[in-house]
Amino acid sequence: MRRPGSVLFKNSFVKPEDVDDSASSPIKVTCTLHRCGWSPGTLEYADPEVSQIRLGRDTVFATGHQNDINHPNVLRLSILRSSLEHAVSSLLYWLPRAIQALGISIAPRYFLPYRVVLKKSKPGWDKEFDIEKSMYEKLKDLQGSLIPRLFGEADCCGTRALVLSEVHGVEPSEQKPPFLQPDEFQRRLETSFRALAKKGLACGDLQLANFLIVDDRLVILDLEDVYKDTPDNIEYAIKTHAEHLKKQYERHLEGISDDW
């Protein structure tokens, strides 16, 4: 299973026919996408299968559906492009990231990744949404490595949402053999937590589903409960939080073993 976010643009330029969106039904939704320094655009589903994303004067098409039944606030969108647009987008991929970021605001049909994720605020979670957005901005230099990339904020039928890239990896609890060893899992957790610690931050939402195994590292998917603290407290949190998650992971592996 793939979860919100994408570490790289490299796998973004895929033909629409290569995508299987049959896992769940598309959802009708109207959104307004805001970008710093640019006029809002509109993300509007024209019908249950194809959506229009109007950003300023530009319009792109996409298909979309819920991420899964456990995350109804998360929509996964696939950008549809003509053969010409696909060819141009593939060439533009090689431009520096700073130029790509500017291009997304000007001509999203060419610069947006093929896959984007819309993460809506949960009812009554305005504070957590503000925290998560501020953390993405604070951790801008870690976007695309430790955390997903943030493309902007959206308004979905009156509900705020973040437009994120998509991460290609696997949740710790959804691995197939051979499984990552618990000690290595803990080491990767501590590495991720120390990257946050350099910013004076610690991770507070300790659930396995909030992390994704990507190559030889972990990507943090949920920043709603990231918080500031003193260096001493953060150092203590790194150890205790990593140990806590390791125990969760070990219990999961033991449960799989019992099933065998």
pLDDT digits (tens, 9 = 90+) for 148-159: 998 877 776 678
Q: What is the pLDDT of residues 19-41, one digit of tens each?
A: 344 444 444 455 555 554 444 55
Output the pLDDT for position 219: 98
Return the percentage of the chain with pLDDT > 90, whole number: 47
Residue 63 phi, psi (nearest 5): -110, 155
The chain-wide mean pLDDT, for the chain, equals: 80
Please give the structure tokens belonging to residue 39.
């006029």
Whether residue 144 is predicted with pLDDT greater than 90 in this model: the reply is: yes
pLDDT beyond 50 at 46: no
Assign 3-class secondary structure to the chain. Answer: CCEECCCCCCCCCCCHHHCCCCCCCCCCCEEEEEECCEEEEEEEECCCCCEEEEECCEEEEEEEEECCCCCCCEEEEEEECCHHHHHHHHHHCCCCHHHHHHHHHHCHHHHCCCEEEEEECCCCCHHHHHHHHHHHHHCHHHECCCECCEEEEEEECCEEEEEECEECCECHHHCCCCCCCHHHHHHHHHHHHHHHHCCCEECCCCCHHHEEEECCEEEECCCCCCEECCHHHHHHHHHHHHHHHHHHHHHHHHHHHHHC
Per-residue pLDDT at 105 = 72
- Whether 8 has a pLDDT exceeding 60, the answer reads no
Domains, the chain, in order of start with CATH, read 3-167 (no CATH), 172-259 (1.10.510.10)
Can you tell me the distance from the alpha carbon of 232 to that of 239, in angstroms, rounded to the nearest whole number? 11
d(C-alpha 219, C-alpha 189), whole Å: 9
- Residue 121, pLDDT > 50, answer yes
Contacts of 199 (CB under 8 A, 6+ apart): 138, 139
Residue 8 or 17, more confident = 17
pLDDT digit string, tens, across residues 229-256? 999 999 999 999 999 999 999 999 999 8
Residue 125 CB partners (closer than 8 Å, separation 6+): 224
Tokens at 56, concatenated = 């300023």
Question: What are the angstrom distances between the C-alpha of 120 and each of 40, 44, 63, 133, 151?
Answer: 17, 15, 17, 12, 14
